[in-house]
Amino acid sequence: MNRRISRFIGPALGAAAMIVLFTPILLDAALRILFPGAGEWVFDRESLLFLTAEHLALSLVAGGAATFLGMALGIAATRPRGRVFLPLIRDASSLAQTVPPAAVLALAIPFLGFGFKPVLLALVLYSILPVLNNTLTGLETLPEPVLEAARGIGMNRLQVLLKVELPLAMPVIGTGVRTSVVINVGTATIGAVAGAGGLGSPIVAGLIRDNPAWVFQGAMASALLALMLNTGLHSLEYMLKPKAFRQEVSRRPDR
């Protein structure tokens, strides 16, 4: 199959599924076929479009915070004065991801209350590791002759970081950011438990009411949102790669 055509099959199917999910008449018809005994089909407490926007905002804010913190820690740990803290930073970030988000919520709610803040904290702690690890990998694997050449033409440390290290490491860092955002989309469904809304609302309500149609709506919308964000960020990640790499890929014959 032609590579150019195959690239559009997944996004086209995802777009078609999103149209069904966000069109109440089509969604109701599909759910009645899939779950004839549900009794109630379309989740009517909030529109699915509003819940998706709420879910997307929570995921992107958490992803942005995790990206900022992960890159900042990664850059600091690869500087001469910060290398002594590298093992501590790695261990702390790994430990943060082993703690379940539900446990973070249980600990944070008494201090931060219900709503957006405790969910944001849980998501940031849970998704910072991919960005941090990829930042460390991208910066530590740069060719030393390139860095020496940058220093040889008179660049100071900040200029080398901003003009040489980060641009060369950005494709690797971008992969970590993409992974972090996709993790957040899936994990943000717990936000409904803490009153933060999002696509976890129909899932939780469906579990309470023993209604698989509601669970299906929230789960499918969350999965499609993650897939579409992954596709979009993957395209951006490709654009961040060196021009020579993109030209080489474009010259490969279709199979």
Predicted local distance difference test score (pLDDT) of residue 3: 55
DSSP codes, 21-81: HH-HHHHHHHHHHH-TT-S--S--SS-HHHHHHHHHHHHHHHHHHHHHHHHHHHHHHTSTT
22 versus 56: the higher-pLDDT residue is: 56
Look at residue 11 in the predicted model and tell me its pLDDT: 66
Give the sign of the dihedral formed by CA 246, CA 250, CA 253, CA 254: positive
Q: Is it the case that residue 10 has pLDDT exceeding 80? A: no
pLDDT at residue 214, as a whole number: 93
Give the Cα separation of 72 and 135 in Å (integer). 9
Phi-psi region of 246 (alpha: psi -120 to 50; beta: other; left: phi over 0): alpha
Q: Does the pLDDT at position 19 exceed 80?
A: yes
pLDDT of residue 84: 86
Domain spans of the chain, in order of start: 47-244
pLDDT digits (tens, 9 = 90+) for 113-165: 888 888 898 889 888 989 999 999 999 888 888 888 888 888 888 889 988 89
Q: What percent of the chain lies above the pLDDT cut of 70? A: 89
What is the reported pTM? 0.83
| CB contact at 8 A, 90 and 73 | no
Topology (CATH) of 47-244: MetI-like fold (1.10.3720)
